[in-house]
Structure 1
């Protein structure tokens, strides 16, 4: 809302009304009437040329305050014109309805506004007492009008100023909040981008990188075999799986065999391929009371892949068992081998993406990961995650 435009209308209306009062006053001479019209016209010109600039354009948006010297250049002539008009006609005391608010708007501060308001009401009171001939009744009336006007002007001015200060402070806080929200959104975007890079790195490690490692190992084995047709077939199967994984990543869908088969079938297929590649026997057991959310199934399958990859690289094992079952705490996955054991190595000693990536992946769903020596030998990798069953219509919660 353009408050300056409304002020223009208000000032013009008051001046026109007072001009009509001056002209219609039968007790005034022609000279006094024309003088009053000149004083009121000068007051309007003073407002339009100088005082108007200090009226804010919009509510809640304050322009810079004038200096004391600049403010007095408009305020003192306005007070003088109003006081002179009152000295000629007591009805001109009504100029206070525009003079006193304009003094607040054009002041350089609260103290400045209070002082010029006192000066204005005093000057107008003196003009009124002069018009009444300095009689006791006229002087007493002038004093009462000046005192009441001063009290109301200061009280209302301080109240309105406090509201304006509150609005300005609110606007400042809102601007700071908007800026903070923008910075927070930028931080979230950066965090999201970093998280997405880490997720892609984990997915590449858990799928394509492991498949390529298998291909390298099978190729080395084929180079040592007199008849490598079986191994080459494994290389081809592994390469096809890697290609499928790559296509799934490109399509922004990190799931693999769970898209085409239940989790139990996916684990069986994974164990069979691992056994053909390494000669290590793999047994799997799945005992789940409810269907798991698809994202949880994929996470568990990735953990099995990483567990088998660690067996291949470090365990020197002859057999591996994979168990997935429901517990009171949620779902528990264990991958146990009969290899050489940890030999003092802990999860924190991991330097690659393997166990570290698995631990981060499990933590994202509120689960826990542990790696410990198994009895009588080997290593047990255990993952426990809470879960909610999938609704009966098969929708992921």
Structure 2
């Protein structure tokens, strides 16, 4: 009922105004004045007992209330032509109470006829009065139909848009779930490749060296056995480093202190694990959002992992520079290099390219055998992004 409270206020105000009009306007007789008051009271009772419930959604009460409203409006005008003001509430209520547009139009015509009949009863059948009644009611009916049809069309469009919005919301939820599932599968595939390319291969080598060490022990060849044990220890340490790197790459990103501090912490970890002298140069003059910093840090992780695994370098430099609309990260090393014209293998560089493509970034790689390697990542920031 609270959703229809303004209709309740509108109806009560209209009834009060009709009572005031009846008191201060001309009436043919005292009996007609009393009849008008009685009709106003009866309409108020009908509204309280039936109309409120019909507005609240009780379908079985809609037509009875509409019929009572039409008859009551005609009766009021029959008591006094000044009470034709009742149409100000009657026409809108018919549109609101009756859900069918066609039935509402018929009810509007019925109301216009009832009020016209009331005019004839109150003012007579003189030709001038009939012409005036026909003109007034025709204008009232046309105005009510035009306004009602316009509002009904707006309501239909609103309902359609609400339905489309619900469908769009459901589709977005389904798409988000599908993207989540795709992301989970993609991450599993990435981890599987990483484990196969690093840990699994290293463990296979450890198994083979263990078997060889057992053979040396069986023949009591201690010197070769000591060499095999040293290799086992070295390989186990390398597997441990690879495992920690894989865990670190999948862990939540620590950006405490910003991208410059995160790069320094990353370089320090790789210094300890690989013994490579890594220098970090950060010239960050533009504030970066967290997503951009995460992308840059992940690219630096992958680049340094490649330096450690493949380059045989003794030193590397990580340089981070921000300009007005671009952030650039470069990683260079003095390692053995490789032929960058050959097809890329593994997951590292293709995965980095895919990550950058999501943020409109780009990757450039330069390397020649014996000449070291230079990797450069650039992505837009701010307005450019």
Q: TM-score when scaled to structure 2?
A: 0.68
- The runs of 5 or more residues in structure 2 that have no matched partner are 252-262, 284-295, 317-329, 364-372, 380-384
Change (3 A) 1:32 1:252: same
Q: Displacement of 1:109 after TM fit?
A: 1.3
1:230 matched residue in structure 2: 227
1:6 matched residue in structure 2: 6
* Residue aligned with 2:377, SS: coil
* Residue aligned with 2:378, SS: coil
Q: Displacement of 1:300 after TM fit?
A: 5.0
For the pair 1:80 / 2:83, whether they are aligned, the reply is: no
2:302 matched residue in structure 1: 299
1:218 matched residue in structure 2: 209
d(CA) in 2 for partners of 1:239, 1:33: 107
Change (3 A) 1:140 1:294: closer
2:166 matched residue in structure 1: 175
For the pair 1:361 / 2:351, whether they are aligned, the reply is: yes
- The runs of 5 or more residues in structure 1 that have no matched partner are 57-62, 270-289, 309-319, 325-329, 337-346, 348-353, 369-382, 390-396
Q: Residues 144-191 of structure 1, C-alpha deviation per residue, up to 9 Å, x if partnerless?
A: 111000110001111111221222222222222222222222222222
Task: Say whether the 8 Å CA contact 1:299–1:361 is kept in structure 2.
Answer: no
Task: Say whether the 8 Å CA contact 1:51–1:74 is kept in structure 2.
Answer: yes
Number of residue pairs the alignment of both structures matches: 324
1:22 matched residue in structure 2: 22
Q: Displacement of 1:359 after TM fit?
A: 7.4
Task: Say whether the 8 Å CA contact 1:306–1:358 is kept in structure 2.
Answer: no
Task: Say whether the 8 Å CA contact 2:249–2:301 is kept in structure 1.
Answer: no
d(CA) in 1 for partners of 2:136, 2:198: 90
Task: Say whether the 8 Å CA contact 2:105–2:145 is kept in structure 1.
Answer: yes
2:190 matched residue in structure 1: 199
Q: Displacement of 1:101 after TM fit?
A: 0.7
For the pair 1:388 / 2:378, whether they are aligned, the reply is: yes
Q: Residues 198-226 of structure 1, C-alpha deviation per residue, up to 9 Å, x if partnerless?
A: 23223322332232122112223323442
For the pair 1:51 / 2:48, whether they are aligned, the reply is: no
Task: Say whether the 8 Å CA contact 1:331–1:386 is kept in structure 2.
Answer: yes
2:35 matched residue in structure 1: 35
Change (3 A) 1:115 1:385: farther
Q: Residues 83-130 of structure 1, C-alpha deviation per residue, up to 9 Å, x if partnerless?
A: 011111101101101111111112241111111111111210121022
Q: Displacement of 1:307 after TM fit?
A: 8.0
1:378 matched residue in structure 2: none
Task: Say whether the 8 Å CA contact 2:299–2:352 is kept in structure 1.
Answer: no
Q: TM-score when scaled to structure 1?
A: 0.66
* Residue aligned with 1:134, SS: coil
Change (3 A) 1:165 1:53: farther
d(CA) in 2 for partners of 1:108, 1:77: 17
d(CA) in 2 for partners of 1:147, 1:387: 76
Q: Residues 357-379 of structure 1, C-alpha deviation per residue, up to 9 Å, x if partnerless?
A: 467536525699xxxxxxxxxxx
Greater Cα shift, 131-140 or 167-176 = 167-176
d(CA) in 1 for partners of 2:226, 2:85: 111
**Structure with the higher fraction of residues in helix conformation:** 2
Change (3 A) 1:306 1:251: closer
